[in-house]
């Protein structure tokens, strides 16, 4: 059964991919990107509509039961299959999930296999969850088995309980008649599984045969090299850059040329620009401090950009020319010890690697004390700061004797008169 469910899930994804391929082939990617949801629906065949309306969620019922689909209250005609398959909107009360309103659509199913459709063709609303209740009062609660896809989670409806299998949204408000019922938590990760609307996007600046997005950068020594990059359409298979020392007139046809390397950039979801070519050229052997003129293109007379100039760094950096500066000793911050207001850092390389020759630390260092002014109402905090590395317990502030001041001895009268004279 699990193998059959896996094949069914793969079959659903394959059916959606086949519909996208058919619409792209019939309309073209650029026209397909401009279709409205109604136009997309009008181009689907009855078989495709049936696959989209029954293959997204599947499970097995052991007895007749009511199936309730809990979807966001604000929706744009999605899911499209609810009314056509006989689901009715429940008016008895709504849900509050993640701060948003949800509503219930219900229908009775017989025992056996049940299939439900995609939540949306545009992947805008959240994925729905499914609640299963008994066929009527006094009827046995049906057993739900073999949910597909396999990551669907079976649980019970509860206040403030999670409503999806892969998100943190919880049900703040639940209609009382659904409490304790079987819940099939939806998978928000599969929101895009049935997307047929806005599959492609359009860019306002597609690439053209003429170079654009010209950028200057460096991959080598800035004083003697210069890297130039630009973009063209995929139809351009050759690129080059012409450069020469800046002068009054610059002719790309007479200047030195360097062929570019090409990188293919593919974005299939961009309908009007799915593949572009990125060109890269590195100019070498330039004069330090000089000014160069350059232009890029495909080498044809009319395929060059307007000449531009750039100026090089004054002189090469000594450490970028193969010279290596003596490595500074690496500092191990784990072995950094504070000494008063300064730091003593122990080098982790060289003769003192690992701090094996550090000055031994005394086992019971004397406390470092700082006086605090007495507090008028809280004598318990009028204490000296505790020592940082153990030591005797500090005494309260009022028990600490102040440092004795030297006695002031009176000056002899004769000495003062002599000093005055």
* Residue entry with tokens 């609307």: 197
CA distance 86 to 113: 17
Please report the pLDDT score of residue 168 as a whole number: 83
Residue pair 198/33 in contact (Cβ under 8 Å)? The answer is yes
Please report the pLDDT score of residue 388 as a whole number: 46
The structure's pTM equals 0.59
Please report the pLDDT score of residue 87 as a whole number: 94
- What does the pLDDT look like over 300-320, one tens digit per residue? 988 999 999 998 877 665 655
- What does the pLDDT look like over 204-215, one tens digit per residue? 999 999 999 999
Q: What is the largest CA-CA distance in the chain?
A: 128
- What does the pLDDT look like over 15-48, one tens digit per residue? 999 999 999 999 998 899 999 888 999 999 999 9
Burial zone of 417 (CB within 10 Å; 0-12 exposed, 13-18 middle, 19+ buried): exposed
Residue 74 has pLDDT above 60, yes or no: yes
Token reading at 212: 């654009």
- What does the pLDDT look like over 89-135, one tens digit per residue? 988 778 998 888 899 999 999 999 999 999 888 877 788 999 999 99
Most confident of 199-203, 232-236, 329-333: 232-236
Residue pair 44/27 in contact (Cβ under 8 Å)? The answer is no
Which parts of 67-129 fold into alpha helices (H)? none
Q: Which of 86, 69, 81 is nearest to 131 (CA)?
A: 69
CA distance 103 to 163: 13
Least trusted range by pLDDT, from 229-233, 304-308, 333-337: 333-337
Q: Which domains does the chain have, with CATH numbers?
A: 2-190 (no CATH), 212-319 (2.60.40.380)
CA distance 293 to 291: 7
- What does the pLDDT look like over 358-410, one tens digit per residue? 566 666 666 655 555 555 555 555 444 444 445 555 555 455 455 666 666 66
């Amino acid at each position: 059964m699990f193998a059959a469910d896996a094949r069914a899930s793969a079959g659903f994804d394959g059916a959606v991919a086949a519909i996208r391929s058919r619409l792209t082939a019939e309309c073209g990617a650029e026209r397909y990107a401009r279709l409205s949801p109604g136009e997309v629906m009008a181009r689907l065949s009855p078989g495709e509509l049936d696959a989209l309306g029954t293959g997204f969620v599947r499970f097995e019922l052991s007895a007749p039961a009511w199936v309730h689909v809990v979807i966001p209250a604000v929706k744009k005609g999605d899911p499209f299959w609810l009314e056509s398959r006989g689901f009715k909107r429940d008016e008895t009360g709504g849900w509050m999930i993640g701060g948003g309103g949800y509503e219930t659509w219900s229908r009775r199913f017989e025992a056996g296999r049940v299939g439900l459709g995609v939540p949306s063709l545009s992947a805008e609303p959240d994925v729905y969850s499914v609640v299963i209740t008994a066929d009527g009062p006094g009827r046995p609660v049906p057993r739900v088995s073999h949910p597909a896809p396999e990551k669907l989670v079976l649980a019970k409806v509860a206040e403030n309980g999670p409503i999806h299998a892969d998100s943190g949204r919880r049900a703040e408000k639940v209609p009382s008649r659904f409490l304790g019922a079987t819940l099939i938590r939806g998978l928000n990760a599969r929101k895009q599984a049935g997307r047929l609307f806005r599959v492609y996007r359009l860019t306002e600046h597609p690439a053209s045969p003429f170079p654009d997005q010209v950028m200057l950068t460096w991959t080598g020594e800035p004083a003697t090299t210069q890297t130039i990059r630009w973009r063209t359409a995929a139809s351009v298979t050759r690129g080059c850059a012409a450069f020469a020392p800046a002068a009054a007139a610059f002719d790309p046809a007479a200047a030195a040329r360097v062929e570019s390397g090409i990188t293919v950039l593919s974005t299939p979801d961009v309908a009007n620009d799915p593949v572009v070519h990125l060109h890269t050229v590195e100019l070498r052997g330039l004069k330090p401090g000089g000014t160069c003129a350059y232009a890029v293109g495909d080498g044809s007379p009319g395929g060059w950009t307007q000449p531009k100039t750039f100026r090089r760094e004054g002189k090469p950096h000594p450490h970028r020319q193969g010279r290596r500066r003596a490595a500074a000793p690496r500092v191990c911050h784990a072995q950094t010890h504070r000494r008063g207001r300064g730091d003593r850092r122990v080098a982790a390389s060289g003769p003192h690697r690992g701090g094996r020759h550090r000055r031994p630390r005394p086992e019971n260092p004397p406390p470092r004390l700082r006086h605090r002014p007495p507090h008028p109402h809280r004598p318990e905090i009028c204490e000296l700061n505790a020592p940082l590395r153990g030591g005797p317990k500090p005494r309260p502030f009022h028990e600490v004797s102040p440092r004795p001041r030297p006695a002031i001895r009176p000056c002899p009268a004769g000495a003062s008169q002599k000093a005055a004279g």
